[in-house]
Amino acid sequence: MMCRCLKVSPSGYYDWERRLPSDRHVDNERLLRRIREIHEDSRGAIGAPRMHEDLSDAGETASKNRIARLMARDGLQGWPRKKKRGQRGRPGLPPPGVRNLLERDFNALEPETKWVTDITEFKTDEGKLFLCVVVDLFNKIVVGWSMHHRQDRQMVLRAIEMALWQRQGGWSVILHSDRGTQFRSGDYQRFLKQNALVCSMSAVGHCGDNAACEGFFGLLKRERTHHTKYRTLDIAKADIFDYIERFHNPRMRRRVARQDLKFSGVLKPSVESG
């Protein structure tokens, strides 16, 4: 009776019912399971573009549009960016002889040649928590970080010390920052000179001069902190530590390893059939 109502032949219905799933359908289900795993591991933060990056790093050849369709069908989506308010105030003049050495060139051909650093803040029920990071532009790994309830130069120096502890060579490294008071302090400038770090600073009112570091803060806030209410400073510190060391840095290391294999010829690029 259903076939008559829907104007479908009984033989066609039974053929459809017994038909095995197509290879495309099976592969979509396999890919969707992997997408769910990555999405859950990111706490629901990753959208289609970054999901495509992670899957490509894992050797998948699915296109970005295909991944977006599968995520939309399964009701999966990333967290949108929050709109930023305009900055208040203007930073002071840089120390004598310090200029912008990067000139917005955020590419590095080798590790430990260009570092960027900056400070951001997070709200908790106990007050503000400040985070300073040092990011290597070669692989976008956070090589140094420090957190404190006060935004002072000692917090900045601790983050740079952590980066220096992990440094493999003794050659000079460009360390770029904005013109915040912590970065213009005498202690900061002396510390850089003592450790073969070349100071570089953004121009006045040009936040794009340190876009690489701002980009990391944007990911951290969009993918973790903007959707979490922290009761204490310690809870916030633990969650930010988890994001940096258990999510972001391992992800960047896997991407670099994947690129190294591709460049060495171990992995050959393949073209998706559809």
Domain ranges within the chain, ordered by starting residue: 9-74, 114-256
CA dist 198 → 2, 21, 99 (Å): 78, 60, 10
Q: For 179-224, write each residue's pLDDT tens digit.
A: 888 888 888 999 999 999 999 988 776 677 788 898 999 989 988 8
The pLDDT, as a whole number, for residue 191 is 92
Residue range 114-256 forms a domain whose CATH class is: alpha beta
DSSP notation for 37-104: HHHHHTTT---HHHHHHHHHHTT----HHHHHHHHHHTT---PPPPPPPPPPS---PPPTT---SSTT
CA–CA dist 162, 148 (Å, integer): 15
User: pLDDT at position 198, please?
Assistant: 93
Query: pTM score, two decimals?
Result: 0.67
- The pLDDT value given to residue 264: 61
State which residues of the chain have pLDDT below 70.
79-94, 205-206, 260-274
Confidence at residue 116, expressed as pLDDT on a 0 to 100 scale: 94
Q: Computed from CA positions of residues 217, 235, 160, 43, in that sequence, does the dihedral angle turn out positive or negative?
A: negative
Structure confidence by residue, pLDDT tens digits, 224-241: 888 889 999 999 999 999
